[in-house]
Amino acid sequence: MIAPRRPYEQLAAEFRWQVPEEFNFGALIDAWATDRSRVALYWEDEAGRRERWTFWDLKQASNRFMNALAGLGMPPGAPLMVMLPRVPAWQAAVIGGLKLGALVIPCTASLRAKDIGYRARHSGARAIVTALDLVPEVEAALGDAPALDIRIALGGAPAGWHDFEALLSRASPTGVPARTRTDEPALCFYTSGTTREPKAVLHTHAYPFAHRYTGEYWLDLQRTDLHWTTSDTGWAKAAYGVLFGPWMNGVPVFMFNGRFDPERELDLLQRYEVSVFCAPPTEYRLLVKQDLGRWRLPRLRHCTGAGEPLNPEVIHAWHDAFRLLIHDGYGQTETTLLAANLPGLPIRPGSMGKPFPGHDLRVIGDDGEELPAGEVGDLALRGHPPSLFREYWRSPDDAGACRRGEWYVTGDRGRRDGDGYLWFVGRADDLIISAGYRIGPFEVESALLEHPAVVESAVVASPDPVRGEVVKAFVVLKPGRLPGDALVRELQEHVKRVTAPYKYPREIEFVDSLPKTVSGKIRRVELRERERRKKPG
């Protein structure tokens, strides 16, 4: 039984990490499976195919995959790339790899040969499991992956590959997970590479355990819930909400394999009676553009968002439709949640909330001292809680660069208000310094999104001979709205009214779309570099 909710201040004050010396997430799955009828997963795809998995089904499938890998000569500790879309085989492969004691490397199915080759070469991966339609991309990368000699495909077996289903059908469904210490490597996530080559974030077996609190405190999961996190399988967000957060608490999840369509997403929420929902801000922004009165979601009781800050106007629109606030959270690939609007904590729209229990998150200056309320500084985590990554694998210089004495420095800038709420300002390298003013892009983007003509925006620094830098906005307009000088002036005046006048975008460029990483985050760095090339010097 999940513990009853406590007030934030009490929870934060009383929290103590209780991490065992040994832990394997696969063993917990097996424990839930003692009740053979206990549902773990509901699944559907674009074609309307549906599956229902119990924890017993998951135990057997993950055991079969563990035994199949061992039979192919995969040693414990060796890197395993799992590059599958949102299908139940993904969970079976990840859990089976953890049971074996492999180092599991989740990879998004949208990677191409160059990305696959980089990850395989950097990690020294011994094995990969992927979908049949992705095999050509993997084949094109094999020149960069000399160690990748165990290749498994879901949906068929080309020459040189093993068929996933055939392997599992021949393997034993019984077995015992490896005894793994919580300080041993378990997972490696590659960052989305917004500013450089992706970094390999190495987590231990304490990481899945730490997500127990993600599910219990932030997602507010109860035994009777059905949870849906819409994340792609290749990113740490899937660990938060598709895998570890819910299943550390024995709560079933829904998973949909298909392209995002706002109407279909709302249909699925209604049909499956999802009670706890988590989506990225990009999806929420498009969901609230629909006529939300068409859907009835009486079972939906709790909503969360993460990946980047959520704009206040989206929170208000969602609340107007469903009488539910979106509880924004802040974390990184390197961590579990660092800050969140936990249930019971009054939400201040636009804020990331307060530090997550067990995490001493502060705003610090260059000298490592905490800054007063209202001042912008580096968001930093004191110490090394079990939720924090062990290292940037095979990149020791990167690991040292993010430490400042006792602090892990996130690379994000923020501020704390007088009541202890934290506010995201931007990535440290996204900050705009114009005529001495320090301007974060998020506040300007949020202001632009409040204008009825704007669908999406990205704000960056553009070189200026007088001010050093000026605020430039790239704006995607709603269908039917035409760009022009009059609209530029209208948007500028709008931002002046909503934010401080010095923050308004002195330059606005209308575009059809914004560059994004494969995880859906806006690549401001690409827009910033484009401006620097246009205005050298």
Taking only the tens place, the pLDDT of each residue in 476-520 is 999 999 999 999 999 999 999 888 788 899 999 999 999 987 767
Contact (CB, 8 A) for 318 and 284: yes
Tell me how far apart the alpha carbons of residues 81 and 141 are, in angstroms, rounded to a whole number.
Answer: 13
Tell me how far apart the alpha carbons of residues 48 and 90 are, in angstroms, rounded to a whole number.
Answer: 19
Read off the pLDDT band of 273 (50, 70, 90): very high
Mean pLDDT of the chain: 93
Read off the pLDDT band of 1 (50, 70, 90): very low
Count of C-beta atoms within a 10 Å radius of residue 456:
20
Q: Where are the alpha helices (DSSP H) in 216-261?
A: 236-238, 244-247
> Which residue, 165, 167, 123, is CA-closest to 145?
123
Asked if pLDDT for residue 529 goes beyond 70, the answer is yes
> Which residue, 334, 408, 427, 307, is CA-closest to 364?
408
End-to-end CA distance of the chain: 62
Asked if pLDDT for residue 401 goes beyond 80, the answer is no
Contact (CB, 8 A) for 12 and 357: yes
What pLDDT shows up at residue 464? 86
CATH for the stretch 431-534: 3.30.300.30
Here the tokens at position 333 are: 């690939």
Q: How far is CA 213 from the centre of its chain?
A: 16
Tell me how far apart the alpha carbons of residues 184 and 206 are, in angstroms, rounded to a whole number.
Answer: 8
Contact (CB, 8 A) for 235 and 517: no
Of the two residues 522 and 185, the one the predictor is more confident about is 185
Amino acid, res. 67: N
Contact (CB, 8 A) for 336 and 356: yes
468-477 and 507-510 beta bridge pairing: parallel
Taking only the tens place, the pLDDT of each residue in 31-50 is 999 999 999 999 999 999 99
Read off the pLDDT band of 298 (50, 70, 90): very high
* Least confidently predicted of 1-5, 89-93, 145-149, 310-314: 1-5
What pLDDT shows up at residue 6? 82
Q: How far is CA 484 from the centre of its chain?
A: 36
**Is domain 24-204 annotated with CATH 3.40.50.1980?**
no
**Cα dihedral across residues 382, 383, 384, 387: positive or negative:** negative
For the chain, what percent of residues have pLDDT higher than 90? 77
- Overall average pLDDT of the 357-368 stretch: 96
Contact (CB, 8 A) for 65 and 171: yes
DSSP character for 239?
I
Asked if pLDDT for residue 196 goes beyond 70, the answer is no
What pLDDT shows up at residue 144? 80
What pLDDT shows up at residue 3? 58
Q: What is the DSSP string of 444-461?
A: HHHHHHTSTTEEEEEEEE
Contact (CB, 8 A) for 216 and 409: no
- Overall average pLDDT of the 2-17 stretch: 85
Taking only the tens place, the pLDDT of each residue in 65-105 is 999 999 999 999 999 999 999 999 999 999 999 999 999 99
Asked if pLDDT for residue 537 goes beyond 60, the answer is no
* Least confidently predicted of 24-28, 349-353, 488-492: 349-353
pTM above 0.75, yes or no: yes
Tell me how far apart the alpha carbons of residues 510 and 476 are, in angstroms, rounded to a whole number.
Answer: 6
200-204 and 391-392 beta bridge pairing: antiparallel
Read off the pLDDT band of 317 (50, 70, 90): very high
Tell me how far apart the alpha carbons of residues 148 and 51 are, in angstroms, rounded to a whole number.
Answer: 31
Read off the pLDDT band of 204 (50, 70, 90): very high
The three-state secondary structure class of 463 is strand
In the chain, where are the structural domains located? 24-204, 431-534
- Overall average pLDDT of the 427-437 stretch: 76
* Least confidently predicted of 23-27, 107-111, 355-359: 107-111
> Which residue, 427, 407, 425, is CA-closest to 417?
425
Tell me how far apart the alpha carbons of residues 13 and 7 are, in angstroms, rounded to a whole number.
Answer: 10
